[in-house]
Structure 1
Amino acid sequence: MAAQLRTRDYGQMLDLVVAVLENENVDSVWHVISRELLDSLGCDSATFSEVLLSEGTGTVRGWAPDELSTVVDGLVQRRIRQRHPLLDYGLSEQAPVNIADICDGWRNTAWYEEARRDFGVTQQVGVPLACEDGKMCVALIGRRGDFTPHDLAFLTRIQPVIRTMASHVYELKRLRSAVAPVPSCDLTPREATVLGLLAEGLTAAAIARRLAISPHTVNRHLERIYRKLGTNNRVSTLVVARAEGLVA
């Protein structure tokens, strides 16, 4: 029988979403997610990595605790050279998995020794997030001790939430690279993302698909944008937004 999640678990998932959506610095979002996971699971380490399999390289995009900043440089390249089992696993499977379950002789491997030495952990759970166009995104959650069925159930349920947050961050970062937001504007990062996609000609349904949310949620964001910009339709909203430098 699958482990049952508690009301508190869903509250922690909501806390993660709020922390990401209220975060103004898109470059620190993966660190925010890492810290939230550590707090929710009571673990000791978390890293989010982007792996370019065809090139044999990649980067660690976020980690917690902050002390890991001294050991993450070159981490992805080492894991590729060592053929970390999560890389092969993520090519065909998406479910969160205990690394010991997909790795024979886990405690005799180079990555186990490094995990214990550098991260202070003896068990790790891998969470594949995406694998497309030769690019893989994965999370590694570590703990001094075993993970429970409840932990795996929590990660399974929060996995699509993290994917949605990743879509939000990608679009927000892309839009901000084109136009810097006006400091005096009261739009939240999520509203700025929706406004930017609106300016690109996307319908509410298309914005919903891009951000992995419902059209109803998009329309709620649009209503708040109209109110903050003093407009009442899409055309006037884009006129004001362009005049204020909010969109290209």
Structure 2
Amino acid sequence: MGTTAYADNRRATVAQGLGGAYERMLSVAVAALHEREPERLWPLMASALPGLCGGETLIYKLDDWSESKGTVGMSPGVAAAFDRRGDEALGLLRAGYPFAHHYAADDDRTPVTARRAAGRAWQSSPTARLIADTMGVDHVLGLPLSRSAAPVTGCLVYRSGSDFTDDHVRLAQRLQPLLAAVDQQRQLLERWRATAVTPREPPEAGALTPRETTVLLLLTDALTAAAIGRRLGISSRTVHKHVENIYRKLGTRDRISTVLRAQQLGLVATPGGLPDHAPSG
């Protein structure tokens, strides 16, 4: 086969693979937007993401990459393996070698493999030996949230055998906006759970969807449709559609009456974080 024909076949194979990956990404996004429980969002990502970018398993870190603290999420089998090895092994995993140091150097959040970040030092590192012994894998791909600051938050995707390819890394980079949107949804749902009081009566036309709930929360912050769209990674037109649905379900016609109605129903907190019927003084 000639060089040109090989290159054409290679591009066709990659394009076909990307098309299937994008379809799966869309399915994951739809599932995430319909999830009402914030603690279920990242486990959903953990089950779907490895296969999208050439991995076998995934560990996610939501708030800190340090040896002493930070939320570390992993599959039950992996968690059990680390439990058996004790706190020292988990601390080594939390340290995030070599990604914590790599991403601390600047604001670049491009996905990178451990081998490329650490060079030859990766293979002989304690972290590489730990994951080989505990998880049976050899390679790691760092996939941080694209806008995360220090400490970096995001995912570590693992595989055995050969390292992640350039195509895997490029696909991981395209997954970053989806991860950012899912984590934004998680934070907004957690905020809603923390501030909402028990509804005294249900909305007339049915419950709000999780995405409508997040839009409602941002409406209470007096954000414009364009600002809400930027925050959630959707178009202003889509925001307006969500707002129309909220108006219909709450029986309101404008932003102010919608916020007041939502406060009356206990869907959002009243100013000061107290229910509107709480006694003063």
TM bracket (short chain): 0.7 to 0.9
Structure 2 unmatched ranges of 5 or more: 1-6, 270-281
Q: In structure 2, what is the equivalent of residue 111 of structure 1?
A: 127
| TM-score, structure 2 normalization | 0.76
Q: Distance in 2 between matches of 1:225 and 1:61?
A: 35
Q: In structure 2, what is the equivalent of residue 194 of structure 1?
A: 215
Residue 61 of structure 1: CA displacement?
A: 4.1
Q: 2:39 pairs with 27, 31, 35, which one? A: 27
Q: 1:49 aligned to 2:64? A: no
Residues 107 and 89 of structure 1, relative CA distance in 2, 3 Å threshold: same
Q: Distance in 2 between matches of 1:61 and 1:221?
A: 33
Please state whether the residue corresponding to 2:123 is helix, strand or coil: helix
Residues 131 and 220 of structure 1, relative CA distance in 2, 3 Å threshold: same
Contact 1:22 1:188 in 2 (8 A): yes
Q: 2:111 pairs with 93, 96, 110, which one? A: 96
Q: Distance in 1 between matches of 2:125 and 2:177?
A: 30
Q: Distance in 2 between matches of 1:76 and 1:136?
A: 18
AA aligned to 2:111 is: P
Q: In structure 1, what is the equivalent of residue 189 of structure 2?
A: 172
Q: Distance in 2 between matches of 1:121 and 1:115?
A: 6
Q: Distance in 2 between matches of 1:131 and 1:246?
A: 29
Please state whether the residue corresponding to 1:58 is helix, strand or coil: coil
Residue 37 of structure 1: CA displacement?
A: 0.4
Contact 1:90 1:131 in 2 (8 A): no
Contact 1:16 1:33 in 2 (8 A): yes
User: Larger Cα Rg: Structure 1 or Structure 2?
Assistant: 2
Q: 1:68 aligned to 2:78? A: yes
Q: 2:69 pairs with 30, 47, 58, which one? A: 58
Q: In structure 2, what is the equivalent of residue 125 of structure 1?
A: 141
Q: Deviations over 1:155-209 (max 9, x none)?
A: 0111122112212221221232111464955211111111112123222222223
Q: Distance in 2 between matches of 1:138 and 1:116?
A: 21
Q: In structure 2, what is the equivalent of residue 141 of structure 1?
A: 157
Bigger mean CA offset, 139-148 vs 181-190: 181-190
Q: 1:38 aligned to 2:50? A: yes
Residues 34 and 181 of structure 1, relative CA distance in 2, 3 Å threshold: farther
Contact 2:36 2:189 in 1 (8 A): no
Residues 66 and 208 of structure 1, relative CA distance in 2, 3 Å threshold: same
Residue 15 of structure 1: CA displacement?
A: 1.5
Residues 160 and 143 of structure 1, relative CA distance in 2, 3 Å threshold: same
Residues 58 and 17 of structure 1, relative CA distance in 2, 3 Å threshold: farther
Number of equivalences: 244
Across the aligned residues of Structure 1 and Structure 2, the Cα RMSD in angstroms comes to 2.7
Q: Deviations over 1:197-234 (max 9, x none)?
A: 21232222222233233222211111121222233322
Q: Distance in 1 between matches of 2:90 and 2:229?
A: 33
Q: Distance in 1 between matches of 2:222 and 2:60?
A: 32
Contact 2:64 2:71 in 1 (8 A): no
Identity, in percent, stands at 29
Larger strand share, 1 or 2: 1
Q: Distance in 2 between matches of 1:165 and 1:186?
A: 21
Q: In structure 1, what is the equivalent of residue 91 of structure 2?
A: 77
Q: Distance in 1 between matches of 2:170 and 2:198?
A: 39
Contact 2:138 2:158 in 1 (8 A): yes
Bigger mean CA offset, 33-42 vs 107-116: 33-42
